[in-house]
Amino acid sequence: MAEENSIENLEDENDEHSRHRRERRDLQSTIQQLKKSVNKNDKARKKKVDSEIKELEDAFAKRWQHFDPNAAPEPVISNSTEVCTEDKQHVSRKARRQANKEKRYNEAHADDVEIDYENQPETIRRRNESSSIDTQLAARGLKVHSIPSDGNCLFASIVDQTSDLTIRQLRQMIAEYLQQHKTEYEPFIETDFNVYCEKLAKENVWGGQIELEICAKILQRSIEVIQGNGNELIRVNASNTTQTPIVLTYHRYLYANGEHYNSTREKTEDQQEDEE
């Protein structure tokens, strides 16, 4: 009887470790999906998602505060001086089967584990982001066309794929559109609205989601922004258009002075053949 109780206790401890790993994987998957749902320029949504993630993590930590994931399950030793060899072999086989089962599961769900890009070394973040963007572009027969990092990158990238505008003209058109639709856009501008519009038209201030949406409306062309590190493609659709979309790339880690947009170009046949 003592030997049977030892085996049951060991199985319970193994089950607790398995439940902990399973719940942690589920939590990581949920957090990953929440992060993917956030547009990098949507600060309100990001703040809300960050709050939801913290609540999930706090609930998980409280639920498992008694548990040490690094502690290996220890078999309960019976009162008898020896455990028969047959029972030892039974426990050993059961542990091996459990370990093999977990190994197969982890291999099958390796892609489900969240990668913490934020806490990776800078060089690795930069390399992974560039590789991810290049892979997405290659699938579409495109390549990055570098744009200077001078505060005009978003507007310069869009102008690069249009034929009859200058950067300053595009900025002026966006500022005028904002002024004409002040009621619609003012709630999303964190600074003084009129000052924002004036700087947007005359200075090299950065553009974001609002400017992307207005560009699509003004130019009557949809805009797609390819991101790296598992972030989903951003689409800003323009109504009643048959033109091909403007395709940009968004780089969060590539440049030392912060976020950056680049333009894209079609690859030549020779370039595509070289890759094949």
Read off the pLDDT of residues 212-252 as tens digits, 9 standing for 90 and up: 999 999 999 999 999 988 888 999 998 887 889 999 999 98
Sheet of strand 260-266, all strands in order from the earlier edge strand to the far edge: 142-145, 260-266, 246-251, 223-226, 234-236
- pLDDT score, position 258: 81
| Distance in angstroms between the alpha carbons of the first and the last residue of the chain | 67
Contact 75, 91 (CB under 8 A): yes
pTM of the full structure: 0.56
Taking residue 99's Cβ as centre, other Cβ atoms within 10 Å add up to 11
Least confident of 6-20, 47-61, 200-214: 6-20
Rounded to whole angstroms, the Cα distance separating 189 from 263 reads 26
- pLDDT score, position 267: 86
Helix/strand/coil (H/E/C) assignment for every residue in 187-227:
HHCCCCHHHHHHHHHHCCCCCCHHHHHHHHHHHCCCEEEEC
Average pLDDT, the chain: 77
- List the structure tokens of 158: 């869009």
- pLDDT score, position 271: 52
Taking residue 44's Cβ as centre, other Cβ atoms within 10 Å add up to 8
- List the structure tokens of 95: 């542990």
Chain segment 58-82, per-residue pLDDT in tens: 777 777 677 665 555 544 444 444 4
Taking residue 78's Cβ as centre, other Cβ atoms within 10 Å add up to 17
Of residues 98 and 164, more confidently modeled: 164
- pLDDT score, position 100: 74
- pLDDT score, position 208: 92
- Which residues fall within 8 angstroms of residue 37, CB to CB, at 6 or more apart? 45, 49
Contact 140, 247 (CB under 8 A): yes
Q: State yes or no: pLDDT of 198 exceeds 90.
A: yes
**What is the largest distance, in Å, between two alpha-carbon atoms of the chain?**
90
